[in-house]
Amino acid sequence: MNNENTMVWPLDTGNWDSSNGSFQLVRTHLGYAVSQQLPAADLAHFMRMRKASTDGSLFPPEFNYSPVDGSTLAGTASPAAESGWIPPFGARSVTMARSSEVLGLRKSQRTLALANPASYHADSAADASLPVPPPGEYQFISGQFGTSAEALLALDPAKGSLFVWLPESARWQAVEGSSNSLLAESRIARASWRCELLSGFHSTLLLGTEAGLARLVVDLPALRYQVSYCGNGVAIGAPVTFNQQVWLPLQQPDGSLHFAQTTADGQSGATIKVSNAPASLGSGSPPVAYGRMAVWLYGEGQLHLQQQADGSVSAQFVAWPAQVTPEFSFGSPYQDAAGSLWQLCFDHQAGNYLYVELGKRQPQRQPALSPRFCSGSINYRFASKLKKNPWEEPEHGDDGAASENVIPLLEVGDSGVVGLKLGNTQALASLLENPDRMRLLMIWDDDDTETAFHTGVVAQPWHMRLFTYQDKLWAYHPQLARIDGWTLAP
């Protein structure tokens, strides 16, 4: 009920003031004052305000009927069917993570498809576009952040800066912390970065930073965030959900390593020390977790978390086999039909590529004739999509497409891939070292057809990142001046 003296309505979405004859959100659910920098049209969009059919007056999303004349209000208070996007590859929320699914591969946990694939061709214009945020290298997150509607955030981890897209004003707006609650920067390399998210009305981002594991809560109506930290040390890898908790490797000033952990409700667990790790681990790759195992991959070896028979978790460092180094630039580890995970490596003694089984002190090894780009359960031999083990050569190899390579950016279903097709006549390692601008073709490769839907020219096109927002798939590259989007099937 409203207070007749102040005309303030305390609702689940915040405090709404109706003293001037219309409803205005004045204080958020977290208790912050609504920002004066947020235009009224964008606030109405974010809160899914309901509209009267008589005069167009707006009301809080909790109202089904007008308190003025009892008429039914247009719009819906419930969130749309969007599942949001957790970068970089569309993972599930922490509370929805399943031990039967591997985490950390280039696999969206939501099946995606183009709305009308037959209407696209190589030179098609995008269905929509957004301007890029201020200069930086961004990760994009969509979900609810103190809002009834889906909102889009742009995060630059290296700078600790955060922006929100204002859909009605068509511009990016900075989101600020307080003087004593700022998001720390992250030194995690772009290729190694990922995050976790707790979905809800106030979704919570879990990030690796130089101040530990950050729990970031964004309150968009106030254009503010609040952040707290778990663990003591600098994050040397990204967080991943394992054993119903979120884990992050941290390094102390003396070089020692330990894992910090936090539960879904924000409770910090005991740290676990890694006693045998070297002082420097080298460059890394995003962590992967599956079943009772989580692995962080580095140039010098692997950091393992393993759930024991009694339910406890142990941590250890496992070096790569002698004279073997990992090759992270070809994409994700490969998951075979039995669920085992394999990392592409190079054997300097034998002079050939090989795949090394992850999570084992004495891993199996499978020699390979050549490297392949891999997204998880799918790999590409030149431009041919394969679901068989990448160390196995086809009985009848089709090298007709040897002048082209496909780099899978994202698996979007059991057999669907969004990827880049590039003309190439050199070795794959040389292709990835090429600094020149090159022509790319974006393709949607499913069971039956390959749909080309966009053409572009950019240097290092494999740095492109995909995300979903407002029923579209968007493609962002740090060197481009816009973010293009294509309509997804419902």
Domains belonging to the chain, first-starting first, are 8-74 (no CATH), 94-487 (2.130.10)
pLDDT band at 3 (very low <50, low <70, confident <90, very high): very low
Q: What is the mean pLDDT of residues 413-433?
A: 91
Q: Nearest to residue 249, comparing CAs of 203, 296, 215, 197?
A: 296
Q: What is the mean pLDDT of residues 416-441?
A: 92
> Which residues are registered as beta bridge partners of 204?
198, 217
Q: Which residues contact 290 (CB under 8 A, 6 or more apart)?
A: 99, 101, 102, 103, 335, 339, 341
The reported pLDDT for the residue numbered 97 is: 82
The reported pLDDT for the residue numbered 83 is: 65
What is the SS3 string spanning the chain? CCCCCCCEEEECCEEEECCCCCCEEEEECCCCECCCCCCHHHHHHHHCCEEECCCCCEECCCCCECCCCCCEEECCCCCCCCCCECCCCCCCCHHHCCCCCCECCCECCCCCCECCHHHCCCCCCCCEEEECCCCCCCEEEEECECCCCCEEEEEECCCCEEEEEECCCCEEEECECECCECCCCCCCCHHHCCCEEECCCECEEEEEECCEEEEEEEEHHHCEEEEEEECCCEECCCCEEECCEEEEEEECCCCCEEEEEECCCCCECCCEEECCCCCCCCCEEEEEEECCEEEEEECCEEEEEEECCCCCEEEEEEECCCCEEECHHHECCEECCCCCEEEEEEECCCCEEEEEECCCCCCCEEEECCCCEECCCCEEECCEEECCCCCCCCCCCCCCCCCEEEEEEEECCCCCEEEEEEECCCCHHHHHCCCCEEEEEEEEECCCCEEEEEEEEEECHHHCEEEEECCEEEEECCCCCEEEEEEECC
Q: Would the pLDDT of 259 be above 50?
A: yes
Omega before 253 within 30 of 0, i.e. cis: no
pLDDT band at 81 (very low <50, low <70, confident <90, very high): very low
Q: Nearest to residue 378, comparing CAs of 361, 390, 360, 369?
A: 390
The reported pLDDT for the residue numbered 390 is: 97
Please give the backbone phi and psi of residue 5, each rounded to the nearest 5 degrees, phi first: -80, -40
pLDDT band at 401 (very low <50, low <70, confident <90, very high): low
The reported pLDDT for the residue numbered 253 is: 87
The reported pLDDT for the residue numbered 399 is: 57
The reported pLDDT for the residue numbered 27 is: 97
The reported pLDDT for the residue numbered 106 is: 97
- pLDDT tens digits, residue range 234-252? 999 999 999 889 999 999 8
Q: What is the mean pLDDT of residues 341-348?
A: 98
Scored b (16 or more CB within 10 A) or e, 186-210 reads bebeeebbbbbbbbeebbbbbbbbe
Largest CA distance in the chain: 83
The reported pLDDT for the residue numbered 1 is: 46
Lowest pLDDT segment from 48-52, 60-64, 215-219, 263-267: 263-267
The reported pLDDT for the residue numbered 396 is: 65
The reported pLDDT for the residue numbered 99 is: 75
> Which residues are registered as beta bridge partners of 154?
140, 163
Half-sphere exposure of 131 (CA within 13 A, CB side): 13
Distance CA 266, CA 34 (A): 26
Q: Nearest to residue 187, comparing CAs of 144, 234, 120?
A: 234
Per the CB < 8 A criterion, the answer to whether 156 and 137 are in contact is yes
Q: What is the mean pLDDT of residues 297-311?
A: 94
pTM of the model: 0.94
Q: What is the mean pLDDT of residues 343-348?
A: 98
Per the CB < 8 A criterion, the answer to whether 120 and 489 are in contact is no
Instruction: Report CA dihedral (265, 267, 268, 272) to the nearest 10 degrees.
Output: -70
Q: Would the pLDDT of 400 be above 60?
A: no
Percent of the chain with pLDDT over 70: 96
- pLDDT tens digits, residue range 140-157? 999 999 999 999 999 999
The reported pLDDT for the residue numbered 4 is: 47
Q: What is the mean pLDDT of residues 346-354?
A: 96
- Compute the mean pLDDT over every residue in the chain, rounded to the nearest whole number: 92
Percent of the chain with pLDDT over 90: 81
More confident residue, 426 or 87: 87
The reported pLDDT for the residue numbered 403 is: 86
Q: Would the pLDDT of 215 be above 70?
A: yes
Q: Would the pLDDT of 118 be above 60?
A: yes
pLDDT band at 78 (very low <50, low <70, confident <90, very high): low
The reported pLDDT for the residue numbered 82 is: 47
pLDDT band at 77 (very low <50, low <70, confident <90, very high): low
